[in-house]
A and B are shown apart, each in its own frame.
Chain A
Amino acid sequence: KAGVTQTPRYLIKTRGQQVTLSCSPISGHRSVSWYQQTPGQGLQFLFEYFSETQRNKGNFPGRFSGRQFSNSRSEMNVSTLELGDSALYLCASSLPLAGGLLDTQYFGPGTRLTVL
């Protein structure tokens, strides 16, 4: 089985611009979660999508948004980029279990975003 893929792998933007990152989950996985990883804050949960619906959301401003398509592929968008948005953005896919429990999350290699 192919793993989680993320595109692009590297991205350089300037302040004020917007960016869209893409994540293709493992075939058959319907849950996609997004995380931001920075040296100072570590890995922080952004949001999770399941069956095209946002199921969970972290504590990030509204500039961060996402969506999921019918084939489970997901995109996240960051508008009005700030210097502090420079980070590694990771997505993870899983087979969600009943009762809100979590199955194993498989992470992609991430997209390294640099904001100048």
Chain B
Amino acid sequence: TQLLEQSPQFLSIQEGENLTVYCNSSSVFSSLQWYRQEPGEGPVLLVTVVTGGEVKKLKRLTFQFGDARKDSSLHITAAQPGDTGLYLCAGAQNNQGGKLIFGQGTELSVKP
């Protein structure tokens, strides 16, 4: 059962464009994390959001956690070729310790 639906699965855009990746679930999460993974490497944490309605900004990246803590979005402004990679959302639930539930991922390609 895929508890986290991530969309789109693939995204190919030109440098300078904006984009949004969505992560949706019918389940409530205690926190939601966004990772970026490059080929041959493990996922690297970008941000953790824990409060419903929370918005966090990391340079050109804006992350939002839904009010009900069931969904999240990642918005990238003025994408650059260096943003290319696999973006993953992952949810944690109370009393589940180190268990993360991952979305399928969004493969982003930014062309110069």
Contact = CB atoms under 8 A, between A and B. Distances in A.
Question: Do chains A and B interact in one complex?
Answer: yes
Interface of A: 4, 31-33, 35, 42-45, 48, 50, 55-56, 58, 90, 92, 94, 96, 99-102, 104-110
A100 B94 contact: yes
Contacts of B90: 43
B95 A100 contact: yes
B32 to A, nearest CB: 11
Given A42-B104, A55-B97, A96-B98, 18 more contacts: A32-B98, A33-B99, A42-B88, A42-B103, A43-B100, A44-B102, A45-B99, A48-B99, A58-B99, A90-B42, A96-B97, A99-B94, A100-B96, A102-B30, A102-B98, A105-B33, A105-B100, A107-B44
A31 B40 CA distance: 23
Contact of A42 (B30, B44, B92, B105): B105
Contacts of B96: 56, 100, 102
A33 B100 contact: yes
A31 B98 contact: yes
Interface string B35-62: 1000011111100100000000000000
B98 A33 contact: yes
A94 B92 CA distance: 13
26 contacts: A35-B100, A42-B88, A42-B104, A42-B105, A43-B43, A43-B90, A43-B102, A43-B105, A48-B97, A48-B99, A50-B97, A55-B97, A58-B99, A90-B42, A92-B42, A92-B98, A92-B100, A99-B94, A101-B92, A102-B100, A105-B33, A105-B45, A105-B98, A107-B35, A107-B42, A108-B42
Across the A-B interface, the 10 shortest Cβ-Cβ residue pairs: A107-B42, A100-B95, A48-B98, A43-B102, A33-B98, A102-B92, A56-B99, A42-B104, A31-B98, A55-B97
B102 A42 contact: yes
A102 B29 CA distance: 11
Nearest to A57: B99
A110 B41 CA distance: 7
Contacts of A31: 97-98
